[in-house]
Amino acid sequence: MAAKEDLYTKVTPRRQRQNRPGTVKHGSNLDVLLSMGFPKTRALKALVSTGGRSVQAACDWLFSHVDDPFLDDPLPREYVLYLRPSGPLLHQLSHFWQQSRVTCGKNKAHNIFPHVTLCQFFMCADGKLEALCEALQSTVGQWRGRFPSPLPLQLYTSSNFIGLFVDEQVAEVLKTFASDFSTEAATKADVRVEPHKKQLHVTLAYHFQPDHLPALEKLAKGVDVSLGCDWLAVLFSRDIRFANHETLRVMYPYAPQNEDELELVPGDFIFMSPVEQNSTSEGWVYGTSLSTGLSGLLPENYINRADECDTWVFHGSHSFLSCASPSASGGAVGGLCDGLLDGRLLDDRSPGEPSSINVICQPMQVLRVNSQSRLPKRTLFVCRHGERMDVVFGKHWLSQCFDAKGRYIRTNLNMPPSLPARSGGYRDYDKDGPITVFGATQARLVGEALLESNTVIDFVYSSPSLRCVQTAHNILKGLQQEGNIMIKVEPGLFEWTKWVSGTSLPAWIPPADLAAANLSVDTTYRPHIPISKLTVSESYDTYISRSFQVTREILTDCKNMGNNVLVVAHASSLEACTRQMQGLTPQNSKDFVQVVRKIPYLGFCACEEQGETGVWQLVDPPILPLTHGPNHSFNWRETLLQD
């Protein structure tokens, strides 16, 4: 393999394509991609670039990179192995990150999450990644029971650096672990890994203004390093082409006016090299898109600085305390959003990260059936929840809205004035976020439309997710039935648990606490599928069967007691709760995901029972569609006070 310096000299955005054969088998996902006709080099690159999440994610990546000049060039990616804290210590460090940013602004430490570096960045060919991950898993397995716990950390400060250093003797033990991983990587994957030789530490702040030192030092002294922590061995990768580039996030859409300009989509990332900026006009920069691989000129005021690690790909984490790894290999940093709306995150939800979608709330074409005048029939309405906070404000919205004492303070008018208290603390909002003010407005408009259409709702069922309960509550407000119809919280209506990040389900707010927060929730309702029956990372077949079962049982319960049932749940529910009710067989998971991606916030469908046959059919909903475009955050200082 060529030296890293030689590879860097070869990769420029304007480089011509090169065709070289791919190598090495990459498992069943690769076989599927090859059977679809994709060349091996492309298929491997797509799988690695999407963290091996799924065939669908790889296909989306390939389609978006069809004009990428590097698509057929098997350049290796750069990898790094970190120790990442979890548990109480992570909360302390995250709080420091938040407070230091609020107090003193962003410094270089904010570019990457809290970590201890175990090795230098190293290169690995796409076809060798599977073996590399096996080497890490094997090494961690050998070290369970030997890993030093707790890890002794000592605070160190200087004029431009603040960090927590690992005790020297213990650091030598960690370096031995890194050396063992290096040996395993060489043996199993033929990959050369250089263990980190410098002092091991967690960087808290560096490259900050000198007058910020007292404030940062005071905050650092507040970090309780004695708190419990399970250190995780975590593997990340980045595109070698952009290792020395600045990472920027697209804030506003831009349609190219000339051939040398780059199309911008909000939520995408742009890589910018200082070398490429010499010949650009004032106000314009030259960059490369993460989502397409294309390069071109773009207006500088359409992008903002992003954190370096925002574009890294996650390839797995392993606990030294538990035999079950917190996260298996496969997925971008962050979690799967239930609507699967971000092409990069056909995942759950980055992590993170602003979605690049326009929310167009209209029924899918496949749901349209000719409507006729008819007598009232039993009707099942299924509706997706409203606009969610973590998609609008990003995965770090908690750090923006909660102070040191865990008190909620909204920082944008689209954030709700208050949030329900949670017995587990505000961190539970990370997996169970609320809807925005616009989300509540969307829901109320749907309720008002149902009222205007003289549609009577007899029963309302909701997924346990807070965003769904809040949406159902606001629909009832629009219907002027708030307090008259009570929401039955049904865990069986929760989305496919495979889309939940981490190793546990969200800690949902109990019905009694929801009612105490003035939400119209039935505290006496006994669910058909209790939370204890839900499992993490269930199979697609299990999710489809669960959705069909709970829908059928809900309709059976309501029979002869009312005609119309409203289910407020997730984007996937519109398909999962109605397809088998029509006597149709479930779609395969790939086609299912394609349908789900088209369902926006407050997507609404209607399914009618055909006589007493037990067969149901999709019909036109009684309300008009709802379209909602994005409205970006406006900073008058940055916009109006420019020189």
Residues annotated in the binding site for substrate, as ranges?
Answer: 467
| Strand partners of residue 360 | 627
Contact 189, 181 (CB under 8 A): no
User: Does the N-terminal peptide bond of residue 150 adopt cis geometry, omega within 30 degrees of 0?
Assistant: yes
Residue 349: CA count within 13 A, CB half-sphere:
26
Dist. CA 142–CA 136, nearest whole Å: 10
Question: In the numeric block, which tokens belong to residue 344?
Answer: 């990069």
Buried residues in 490-521 as b, exposed as e (16+ CB within 10 A): bbbbbbbbbbbbeeebbbbbbbebbbebebbb
Distances, alpha carbon 32 to alpha carbons 41, 110, 112, 127, 329, in Å: 14, 39, 35, 16, 19
Does the active-site annotation cover 385? yes
Contact 581, 330 (CB under 8 A): no
The single residue of 473, 570, 579, 597 carrying the catalytic annotation is 570
The single residue of 245, 385, 473, 546 carrying the catalytic annotation is 385
The single residue of 384, 396, 473, 528 carrying the catalytic annotation is 384
Q: Which amino acid is at 191?
A: V
Strand runs (DSSP E) across 184-275, as ranges?
201-206, 232-238, 246-250, 269-272
Buried residues in 59-78 as b, exposed as e (16+ CB within 10 A): bbbbebbeebbbbebbbbbb
* The Cα angle at residue 217 between residues 211 and 220, in degrees rounded to 5: 145
* The Cα angle at residue 320 between residues 317 and 324, in degrees rounded to 5: 65
Dihedral, 284, 286, 288, 294 alpha carbons, nearest 10: 90
| Strand partners of residue 605 | 382
Three-class SS string for 120-167? Answer: CCEEECHHHHHHHHHHHHHHHHHHCCCCCCCCCEEEEECCCEEEEEEC
Using DSSP bridges, classify how beta strands 487-489 and 459-462 pair: parallel, antiparallel or unpaired: parallel
Distances, alpha carbon 463 to alpha carbons 363, 421, 427, 599, in Å: 20, 19, 20, 17
Strand runs (DSSP E) across 199-336, as ranges?
201-206, 232-238, 246-250, 269-272, 284-289, 295-299, 303-305, 313-319, 331-332
Does the active-site annotation cover 384? yes
Residues making up the annotated binding site are 467
| Strand partners of residue 380 | 565, 607
Dist. CA 604–CA 361, nearest whole Å: 8
* CA nearest neighbour of 516 among 626, 410, 615, 423: 423
Catalytic residues: 384-385, 570
